[in-house]
Amino acid sequence: MAEETRLFTYIDAINSAYREEMQRDERVIMFGEDVISMQGSARETTGIFEQFGPDRIKDTPIVEEAIVGMAMGAGMTGLRPIGFLMFASLMMCAFDQVWLKLGCNRQEWGYRGPLPVVLHCMVIGGTGIGMDHAVSPEALLVHCPGLKIVMPSTAYDAKGLMKTAIRDDEPVVYFSHRGLYFGEKEAIPSEEYLIPFGKADVKREGKDITIVSYSAMVRKVLAAAEELGKEGINAEVVDLRSLVPMDIDTVVKSVKKTGRLLIVHEAMKRGGVAGEIVFRFMEAAPDAVKTMKSPIKRLAAKNVALIRSRKMEPLLIPQIQDIVETVKGMV
């Protein structure tokens, strides 16, 4: 008997995960900027207030530091809070609370209990909205010792990873991507499912080159792979899904097959996650590095602030044709 499925957009999948987890566990609460008044920055929280009421979801002032501090306190006292920070760039306003407090609390205070906190915020590159909002700061948080970092690229992954994040007993930063919110609907199982952290997904199998990516850039990589396929270049696409923990084993297995490695992400190249992926790969598989068919490359945003212009911003962030040309140069 075929498994029953429903069609969801990326944003619908996140909303479904919220509802299912709040229905399953009364300790799950939510608060943040405009989660009631605007139903989230892009309607992520549609219907949550109507279903669960003011004791489970609350609007807050635009004070990110307070949202993170409240979430940390709630998590330490037995609740399972979701702190909604709207845009990833706004996390910088609470960097002390996120990095030094939420991420480092166990070392700083000797706290050994569970700290089930989810911070949900949105990456929004590709919209011409400017650096005030369009920051992809995942590399900064990967450097923090106590945080798990999740960046899904599909509706299926968005739901499964959000449910896993809410049930996790350690702090999780969940980056969704605005560019994926209202895309084509995907078939998602009606039955409950979870996606474990630290388990990459091979979105497309190939034999000529491994392209590693995450979040919205996976869609561009897959589109580039289709173009390359028309020219006889067969690219394998690995979606990391979570950056901490990172599944480097899947990357190693893929590169041993293809002999080439390209990492693509939306964040700035300098100090970006691509550098971490490369070195983790080299440490895990030094013998494979010696037999590679071409040098490892990384393709990422320029080392500048994003411009408040829909015409100019595409020049700063990798596009499908950039990926195609880079792969051709490697193969």
In a domain, residue 153? The reply is yes
User: Is 206 found in the same domain as 179?
Assistant: no
User: Is 179 found in the same domain as 228?
Assistant: no
Q: Which CATH number is 106's domain given?
A: 3.40.50.970
Active-site residue set: 133
- ∠271-143-203 over CA atoms, to 5°? 75
Domain boundary among 158, 189, 220: 189
Average pLDDT over residues 48-66: 93
Average pLDDT over residues 255-270: 96
User: Is 170 found in the same domain as 40?
Assistant: yes
Place 75 in a pLDDT band, splitting at 50, 70 and 90: very high
Beta strands 297-301; 186-189: pairing state = unpaired
Please state, in angstroms and rounded to a whole number, the distance separating the CA atoms of residues 79 and 114: 10
Please state, in angstroms and rounded to a whole number, the distance separating the CA atoms of residues 81 and 34: 16
User: Is 166 found in the same domain as 64?
Assistant: yes
Mean pLDDT across the chain, nearest whole number?
Answer: 92
Surface-to-core class of residue 77, CB atoms within 10 Å of its CB (0-12 exposed, 13-18 middle, 19+ buried): exposed
Please state, in angstroms and rounded to a whole number, the distance separating the CA atoms of residues 190 and 166: 19
pLDDT value at residue 129: 66
Contact 217, 154 (CB under 8 A): no
pLDDT value at residue 1: 42
Please state, in angstroms and rounded to a whole number, the distance separating the CA atoms of residues 280 and 213: 15
Domain boundary among 169, 189, 209: 189
> Does 131 score more than 70 pLDDT?
no
pLDDT value at residue 304: 83
**Contact residues for 146 (Cβ-Cβ < 8 A; gap 6+):** 102, 103, 104, 105, 106, 107, 170, 171
In a domain, residue 195? The reply is no
Least confident span in 67-76, 132-141, 146-155, 288-297: 132-141
Least confident span in 36-45, 162-171, 276-285: 36-45
User: Is 184 found in the same domain as 65?
Assistant: yes
In a domain, residue 76? The reply is yes
pLDDT value at residue 86: 85
User: Is 214 found in the same domain as 154?
Assistant: no
Domain boundary among 161, 189, 217: 189
Tokens encoding 212: 């590693």
Place 294 in a pLDDT band, splitting at 50, 70 and 90: very high
Q: In 3-state terms, what secondary structure has residue 150?
A: strand
Higher pLDDT, 88 or 294: 294
Q: Which CATH number is 281's domain given?
A: 3.40.50.920
Place 252 in a pLDDT band, splitting at 50, 70 and 90: very high
Note down the domain range covering 176. 5-189
Residue 90 is given by DSSP the state G
User: Is 218 found in the same domain as 173?
Assistant: no
pLDDT digits (tens, 9 = 90+) for 101-126: 999 877 777 777 899 999 999 998 76
> Does 84 score more than 70 pLDDT?
yes
262-284 in b/e burial notation, b at 16+ Cβ within 10 A? bbbbbbbbeebbbebbbeebeee
User: Is 122 found in the same domain as 83?
Assistant: yes
Instruction: Say how many domains are in the chain.
Output: 2
In a domain, residue 265? The reply is yes
- What are the two backbone dihedrals, phi and then psi, of residue 53, each rounded to the nearest 5 degrees? 80, 175
